[in-house]
Amino acid sequence: MEKTKALGNQHYAEGKFRLASKFYSKALHYDPDNSALLSNRSAAYLKLAQPGLALQDALRCLAVAPSWTKTYFRLASALAELRLPKEAAYYAQIALALSKNDATLQALVESLQGTADRSSTLEWGQHVRPRPVEALAGVHFADLSCGVGHVVAVTDSGEVFVWGDNSHQQCGVDGSPSQPTIVPTLVGKQTYGVACGGAHSLVLCRSGAVYAWGANALGQCCLPSPEVSQPTLVPLQFAVKGVAAGFGHTVFVTSTGQAQTCGWNSCGQLGRGLAATKADLGLVSALQGVTQVSCGGAHTLFVCANGQLWSAGSNSCGQLGLGHDRDERMPQQVRGLAEVALACCGEEFSSAVTSQYDVYTFGLGNVGQLGNGGTASASSPVLVKDLGRVFKTLLLACTKAQVLAVTDSGHVYSWGLVEDLESTASVRKPTLVTALKAKDVRDIRCMRESFLISLRHATASECFVTGLGVERIPAGKRAIGVLHLRDRDGVFLTAPGERVSAAIVDTDGFVSKDAEAECYWESNRYELSVRAVKADHYEVYVFCNNQPLRSVAVTVGPREAMTCRGSLLVTEVAGSAENVVRGK
């Protein structure tokens, strides 16, 4: 195989790209997942003006070498040749993050500047209206989290962006990133969840592994160094399905529903009955079936599968909801609540949503953050009556003295210490945030006095095409398919605003002047239009928000041919599954 590869490289250097591609193909027959061979053949196909085949190899390379610079360079190059500049710009940016000083990559990124699309992330606070984070145009997040002064966010495809205060290395990159910056050491790690403490950061991978970095003087990163300068794999003996972080402590939720804690324990927030002010990783033995955790400044809330809510740690203002103000070093059940679906901690108060969408608060209430119309604190749960079940609260977010509730309609209600464009005032009951009324908010994350807002957007892995591929398309006629877009929760999107695009190539991977494919919004849905003058087999590549969906194989026959003999080939990008549906 090595000899065959060397011959391919020799022909490539001599400009004999057709021969080079043949030798690379021969070598790939013996080692089909060889990333170097896939990359080299992709480059040869580009030289032969066959960007369709180049893209196929680049996507295969992404499946086997997701952390390699050349993977993203090949993707960007193929997409640029397929006249998909916005998608090309996204992958070129990732390649450059992996090799910052590469002149070729710098030139490619510069050539694609100005092609990015809308941002689905808004920043809000400091007496400024919610506004898009322009540096994140074309980037869409699956999850994001905020510390005291820094942000960590993971995209739908698993890239991690950071920005903000880096005084304790909590951003995990060099310097002080004032603008969103890709963390190169996490590219290809298949991350999907994030959590920020006061000055430390954690990301969760689909494998159940966790990477941590930042301040670690209290052991909150579960690593030996007092400060961790870059993402480092946490040596855990269990798979993790969830992670939460407080000011100086961390909670890992295992795949079996146990809670493991480490870090600062000044008030017993680790929930293990310890008197020590800090502790290494250990099991919260009192709890089983933990599904969700939220950490405050020095207290912790645990939601269990049976709907029970448990709390531990600081209780100076009644934020544990136990009917008293004594700290608790072991988890205690919060009584008086029906089945709890989720919980959220502020600094010295807490909130929870039941499965019936009732919202409860408890703890410090001096500026109206309990939402019950008063300013008295409460050591037991208080129903936020003015929100009501009709709004179906799906998410809560808390700052040091404010609560925001996101409903199923995408509207946001707020109470507590609320600021407008000119001043900050105490709002004691839920009030609609009119500045976000038409934004269709999916998620909100809070710093101490400002917010990041993630808008609902389509996730490529949840999207699909119907209506194309089963029947042969008459040459010269236009065929219309429907592009069904869903967000990460599987909810169908029924409004325009997503970035959708398509490219069509013939059976040899060439871009034909006689064939066209385009996506557009029409009659309250996204449609995929395909038309070709020449009879042939074609491959249509569809992208949503920069991510590939699936390729659709279509057959175009002579004008008089109307027989249903075509095939629909649906191939997962990761190469993990194929589904072939044939029409008769």
Q: What backbone phi and psi angles, to 5 degrees, belong to 432?
A: -65, 130
Residue the block writes with tokens 């946490």: 234
Same domain flag for 144 and 174: yes
Query: H or E element: which one contains 398?
Result: strand 393-398
Same domain flag for 336 and 224: yes
Largest CA distance in the chain: 84
Q: Which of 70, 86, 111 is the last residue of a domain?
A: 111
pLDDT digits (tens, 9 = 90+) for 10-46: 999 999 999 999 999 999 999 999 999 999 999 999 9
pLDDT digits (tens, 9 = 90+) for 239-295: 999 999 999 999 999 999 999 999 999 999 999 999 899 999 999 999 999 999 999
Q: What backbone phi and psi angles, to 5 degrees, belong to 36?
A: -65, -40
Same domain flag for 227 and 355: yes
Q: Which domain holds residue 59?
A: 2-111
Helices (H), 429-532: none
Q: Which of 119-128, 130-139, 262-271 has the lowest mean pLDDT?
A: 119-128
Question: 405-441 burial string, b = 16+ CB within 10 Å, else e?
Answer: bbbeebbbbbbbbbbeeeeeeebbbbeebeebeebbb
pLDDT digits (tens, 9 = 90+) for 424-463: 889 999 999 988 888 889 999 987 767 899 998 999 999 9
Model's pTM, two decimal places? 0.90
pLDDT digits (tens, 9 = 90+) for 20-30: 999 999 999 99
- The string of DSSP letters for 80-103 reads HHTT-HHHHHHHHHHHHHHSTT-H
Residue the block writes with tokens 């945030």: 433
Close Cβ partners of 30 (under 8 Å, ≥ 6 residues apart)? 1
pLDDT digits (tens, 9 = 90+) for 323-347: 999 999 999 999 999 899 999 999 9
**CA dist list (Å): 21 to 42, 54, 73:** 8, 11, 18
pLDDT at 470: 67
Question: 514-527 burial string, b = 16+ CB within 10 Å, else e?
Answer: ebbbebeeeeeebb
Q: Which of 455, 477, 512 is the last residue of a domain?
A: 455
Residue 366 lies in a domain: yes
pLDDT digits (tens, 9 = 90+) for 390-428: 679 999 999 889 999 999 888 999 999 887 656 688 999
Residue 540 has pLDDT above 80, yes or no: yes
Question: 300-328 burial string, b = 16+ CB within 10 Å, else e?
Answer: bbbbbeeebbbbbbbbbbbbbbbeeeebb
Answer positive or negative: Cα dihedral of 267, 273, 276, 278. negative
Q: Collapsing DSSP states into helix, strand and coil, what is residue 379? A: strand
Are 353 and 338 in contact, with CB atoms under 8 Å apart? no
Residue the block writes with tokens 């390699």: 68
What gap in Å lies between CA 303 and CA 351, rounded to an integer? 12
Mean pLDDT of 502-525: 92
Residue 116 lies in a domain: no
State how beta strands 412-419 and 478-484 pair.
unpaired
Query: H or E element: which one contains 570?
Result: strand 567-571
- CATH number of the CATH domain containing 572: 2.60.40.10
State how beta strands 128-132 and 141-146 pair.
unpaired
Confidence of residue 112 (pLDDT cuts 50, 70, 90): confident
Residue 540 lies in a domain: yes
Could you tell me which of 443, 451, 430 has the C-alpha nearest to residue 394? Answer: 443
Rounded-to-5 percentages of helix, strand, coil across the chain: 20, 40, 40
Mean pLDDT of 559-576: 33
Mean pLDDT of 480-486: 93
Same domain flag for 104 and 144: no
Q: Collapsing DSSP states into helix, strand and coil, what is residue 42? A: helix
- The DSSP 8-state label assigned to residue 239 in this structure reads -
In this structure, the number of other CB atoms found within 10 A of the CB of residue 141 comes to 24
Residue 418 lies in a domain: yes
Same domain flag for 178 and 252: yes
Same domain flag for 331 and 479: no
Structure tokens at 238: 């269990």
Mean pLDDT of 501-505: 94
Same domain flag for 7 and 149: no
pLDDT at 19: 96
Amino acid at 468: L
- CATH number of the CATH domain containing 87: 1.25.40.10
Answer positive or negative: Cα dihedral of 133, 139, 145, 151. negative
Same domain flag for 164 and 105: no
Q: Which of 79, 111, 143 is the last residue of a domain?
A: 111
pLDDT at 7: 92
Q: What backbone phi and psi angles, to 5 degrees, belong to 21?
A: -65, -35
What gap in Å lies between CA 566 and CA 544, rounded to an integer? 25
pLDDT digits (tens, 9 = 90+) for 91-105: 999 999 999 999 999
Close Cβ partners of 6 (under 8 Å, ≥ 6 residues apart)? none
Residue 193 lies in a domain: yes
pLDDT digits (tens, 9 = 90+) for 194-245: 999 999 999 999 999 999 999 999 999 999 999 999 999 999 999 999 999 9
- CATH number of the CATH domain containing 300: 2.130.10.30
The CA-based dihedral angle spanning residues 320, 322, 327, 331, taken in that order and rounded to the nearest 10 degrees? -80
Confidence of residue 388 (pLDDT cuts 50, 70, 90): low
- The string of DSSP letters for 275-324 reads -SSEEEEEE-TT--SEEEEEE-SSEEEEEETTS-EEEEE--TTSTT-SSS
60 burial type by CB count under 10 A (0-12 exposed, 13-18 middle, 19+ buried): buried
Structure tokens at 118: 């809308």
Residue 530 lies in a domain: yes
Same domain flag for 169 and 80: no
Residue 431 lies in a domain: yes
Helices (H), 48-84: 51-64, 69-81
Question: For the chain, how big is the Rg over CA atoms in Å?
Answer: 26
Confidence of residue 579 (pLDDT cuts 50, 70, 90): very low
Look at the chain and report how many structural domains it folds into.
Answer: 3
Same domain flag for 330 and 444: yes
The angle formed by the CA atoms of residues 34, 36 and 38, to the nearest 5 degrees, is 70
For the chain, what is the mean pLDDT? 90
Same domain flag for 473 and 392: no
Amino acid at 525: R
In this structure, the number of other CB atoms found within 10 A of the CB of residue 534 comes to 13
Residue 510 lies in a domain: yes
Query: H or E element: which one contains 237?
Result: none
Could you tell me which of 148, 151, 182, 146 has the C-alpha nearest to residue 164? Answer: 151
Same domain flag for 447 and 500: no
Q: What backbone phi and psi angles, to 5 degrees, belong to 45?
A: -60, -35
pLDDT at 230: 96
Structure tokens at 432: 């609609």
pLDDT at 473: 87
